[in-house]
Each structure stands twice: as C-alpha cells, then as structure tokens.
Amino acid sequence: MALVKPPDRRTTFVVNPCAAAGKTGRRWAARESLLRAHFPLGEVLFTREPGDATQIARDAVERGQNFIVAVGGDGTVHEVVNGLMTAVVPVSSSKRAGNNSTGPVLGIWPAGSGSDFARGVGIPGDVGGALDLLIAGRASTIDLGHILCQDADGQPVERYYLNAVDFGIGAVVCERLQRQSRFLPGRPTYLWQTVRALCTFRNPYVELAVDGGAFSKKKIISVVVANNAYFGGGMCIAPDARLADGELDVVIVGNLGRFEAIRRLGETFSGNRIQHPDVHYGRCKHLQARSESKVLLEADGELVGRLPAEISVQPHCLQVVLGSVC
C-alpha cells in the first residue's frame, strides 16, 4: 500500500542518542534541522535507558500516531517493533491479525553500529537517503519472528523480532557486547568479541523439534532462526531469507572447532552459504529448542533469555517502509 503523505502522517521519531557509541546524540541537532524541513509537526522523543523505545512506541500508537520511526541501530528497531506489536491500537485502526494493512507503519532511520536489518532491505545509511525514503517510500507488510523463552530466573519472556534469533555462541557474544561500551562500530567489534568468546565457549548439546516433529539431539556452536538475511554486524547468515514468505530460515552450525568456526563464519560476509558438512540450512514455521546446559538466546542483537524456547513465524503482521532491495 502507499504510505500516507504529510501532513496526514502522525509521526513519532524514537531516537536513541546512545546509538553508534553516542554519535547519534552528538549529531542530532544538525540532523533534526533536516528532519523539520519535511516533518514540521513530527514529535521527537529520546530514549534514556533500555526498554524506553518499546514504551515510547507503544504509547505513541495508543495516542493515535500512525508512523513510528526508529532512529538508531538494530536494538532500537527491535524495541520499537515490540512496542508496536504490544500496543492497543485505536478503534479507528485495525488490530493486526494475519494481513495487517491499516495499523501503524514502522520507519527506520539507520543510526547504529550494526543496522543489519536496514542493510538487508536496502535502507540507505546516509541521512539524506534515509530521509528521502521516509518521505516517499511505500509500506510493505512483512512477517515477524516470535519468541517464547525464559529469563535468568526462569520467568517467561515473550518477544517479537525482525532479523534473527541466535542461540549458542552468538548470544554469548551479544552478552559480552552489552557488558561494555562499543568503541568500534559494527563488524570489527563483533568479530573481536566472537574470537574472545570462542576461547572459552564449549559447544552444548541442544534438542530441536521443527514444525511439530520429534526432538533430535545435536551438538552445536550456534543455531540461527532468521527472518532476514543479515545479523552480527554484516554477516549474511541466511542468504535465502525473505521477509514475507510465511517461513523462517534455520541455520544449524554444528560441532565445529573454534578456528573452523571463525573461518566458516567469515564466509558469510561474501553473501554465500557456509560450505561445511556440519552446517545445515532449512526452513520452518515453528521451532522448539531445549538443552540441559545453560544456552543463551539473543534476538536482533539484544540478549533476550535462554532455552527452552519456542520460535515461530507471525505472517504478514507489520507494515514497514523498505528500501530498493525489497
């Protein structure tokens, strides 16, 4: 569908000033002057701590805002998506159910260290290009992933995600990244922390059940359940993933040694599948995972919880302004 044009849009910009190691906040005054030329009535709200973007987005939708723009990296977008999906949509809008064509629209202004979702859907990384797309782009209805898992205390956690869920080494890397400042943006930081994590990581046994089938036990270094092609600061982990095909792509990276894992994960930056007999690709609508070990789980670069988990596709449930790739 075509996106409503200004001044019909009721727009909220959710800005994470800490994105890209604080560069987003430091440069915001200059960027807002460009924004105001096209969105003179748009409201700009800043996050202060983790979870704020979810609450801001939820509140905006419940106040009747129909265009919510996430300004930041994948973590900011992840929070905004969860705000949109858990909002009580006003009576004048249709509550998402199956094909959502009249609910709130998500816009993305990439301003983070990773921005893997933007990379995968062709959203420009420069300010001018991102604004042009927000002004003139069209909204497409896409699938989301949905997660049910546990937190460290065994309490239930529910999340939606755009890019990918990863349990195994990727979640350990994510935990490391969240414990410290990201002095280097994107790929260098992720690769460095991956190398460090592999020095102590022990490949766990996990049990997987796909689309209602029986559980099978396998030793893994990582399992990725992807809705989009990219994650981890530019890794094209699921090159065949499509945002509106009603399925999730599953990549099982089996019992690889640490040096072999580094080598094979490096192959993903070329956009090709990993060529190894213990790396398997597939698709599913629903996946269950459990383990006797402590296995962490991350989504869109945010540490979410741990196994056991249920991961499923939610078809055609969110409108997003996408770039030229889609």
pTM: 0.91
- Binned at pLDDT 50, 70 and 90, residue 91 comes out as low
Percent of the chain exceeding pLDDT 90 equals: 67
**Sequence ranges of the domains in the chain:** 11-143, 144-315
* DSSP 8-class letter at 270: G
Q: Tokens 């790396």 label which residue?
A: 279
Is the pLDDT at 100 greater than 70? The verdict is no
Average pLDDT along the chain: 89
Q: What is the mean pLDDT of residues 309-315?
A: 98
Which of helix, strand or coil describes residue 108?
strand
- Binned at pLDDT 50, 70 and 90, residue 94 comes out as very low
> Which stretch of 45-49, 195-199, 206-210, 267-271 has the lowest confidence by average pLDDT?
195-199
Q: Which residue has the higher pLDDT, 89 or 14?
A: 14
d(CA 16, CA 73): 8
Is the pLDDT at 205 greater than 60? The verdict is yes
> Which residue from 191, 189, 165, 185 is spatially nearest to 261, judged by alpha carbons?
191
d(CA 206, CA 290): 6
Residues 274-305: pLDDT tens digits? 999 999 999 999 999 999 999 999 999 999 99
Residue 168 bridge partners (DSSP): 222
Largest CA distance in the chain: 57
d(CA 253, CA 168): 9
Percent of the chain exceeding pLDDT 70 equals: 89
Strands (E), the chain: 11-15, 43-46, 67-72, 105-110, 139-150, 156-161, 164-168, 205-210, 216-219, 222-226, 230-231, 235-236, 248-253, 279-284, 286-290, 296-299, 302-321
Residues 74-85: pLDDT tens digits? 999 999 999 999
Q: What CATH number was assigned to the domain covering residues 144-315? A: 2.60.200.40
The token pair that represents 182 in the structure block: 């990201």
Q: What is the fold of 11-143?
A: Rossmann fold (3.40.50)
| Residue 41 CB-density burial (10 A; 0-12 exposed, 13-18 middle, 19+ buried) | exposed
Q: What is the mean pLDDT of residues 116-127?
A: 93
- Binned at pLDDT 50, 70 and 90, residue 95 comes out as very low
What is the radius of gyration, based on Cα positions, of the chain? 19
